[in-house]
């Protein structure tokens, strides 16, 4: 199966998803959402896999939703609700994958980007990674599972501060908050993610 907004490869049982719209800092548009839904179902049905890595191309993880694409055309409240429901149709499958999932975050993980990463079991960050629940800056509330995922990791009070302030924070603060598992140089990030995934090669997927 070929994709236009992401790359998908399997290396000896390790699935690697690369968000691939570098000219938009891998911002999430309709095409990418559709392809994420397809690739997650493909991963779920592949019993040969032992782990998944998700990362971004071009020095960014995901800059959030593609605001320019979202602004095209007017939507009714019902149409907007349907759009969010469509997002969650693949997000549930992503959060509940019965495989270890590692997010390798280099550069920006903003809005939907940070929340896609939070759905992983481990977040490895580069030294230049930046995180932000940016929704408040554009008059929105966190989507893509952020309202559920963030408080479970950092606690309700810290989650409120990050969401209400919509401030960005670096990998070191992310680690102190329990969001980031480990920090690596940008050129070592994928090697570290692959090495971490390798720990699960002989684990029981059924267990």
Rounded mean pLDDT for each run of 10 residues along the chain, 207 residues in total: 90 97 92 91 94 97 73 70 73 90 98 96 98 91 90 98 97 98 98 98 85
pTM (2 d.p.): 0.91
Helix 30-45 to helix 77-95 angle, to the nearest 10 degrees? 30
Q: In the prediction, which pLDDT does 72 show?
A: 56
Q: In the prediction, which pLDDT does 206 show?
A: 78
Can you tell me the distance from the alpha carbon of 59 to that of 164, in angstroms, rounded to the nearest whole number? 27
Q: In the prediction, which pLDDT does 59 show?
A: 95
Q: Which residues contact 40 (CB under 8 A, 6 or more apart)?
A: 90, 93, 94, 97
Question: Is the CB of residue 62 less than 8 Å from the CB of residue 22?
Answer: no
- Token pair 């963030």 is found at 150
Q: In the prediction, which pLDDT does 110 show?
A: 97
Q: In the prediction, which pLDDT does 70 show?
A: 54
Question: Is the CB of residue 84 less than 8 Å from the CB of residue 143?
Answer: yes
Q: How many other C-beta atoms are found inside a 10 Å radius of the C-beta of residue 96?
A: 10
């Amino acid at each position: 199966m070929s994709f236009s907004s992401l790359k998908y490869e399997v290396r000896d049982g390790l699935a690697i998803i690369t968000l691939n719209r570098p000219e938009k800092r891998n911002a999430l548009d309709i095409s990418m959402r559709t392809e994420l839904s397809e690739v997650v179902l493909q991963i779920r049905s592949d019993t040969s896999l032992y782990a998944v890595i998700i990362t971004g191309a071009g020095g960014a993880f995901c800059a959030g939703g593609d605001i320019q694409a979202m602004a095209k055309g007017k939507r009714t409240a019902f149409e907007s609700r349907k759009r969010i429901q469509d997002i969650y149709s693949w997000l549930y499958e992503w959060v509940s994958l019965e495989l270890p999932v590692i997010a390798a975050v280099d550069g920006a993980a903003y809005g939907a980007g940070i929340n896609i990463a939070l759905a992983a079991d481990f977040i490895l960050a580069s030294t230049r990674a930046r995180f932000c629940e940016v929704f408040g800056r554009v008059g929105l509330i966190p989507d893509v599972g952020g309202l559920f995922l963030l408080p479970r990791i950092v606690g309700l009070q810290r989650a409120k501060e990050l969401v209400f302030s919509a401030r960005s924070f670096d990998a070191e603060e992310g680690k102190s908050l329990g969001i980031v598992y480990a920090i690596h140089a940008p050129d070592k990030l994928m090697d570290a993610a692959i090495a971490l995934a390798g720990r699960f090669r002989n684990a029981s997927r059924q267990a």
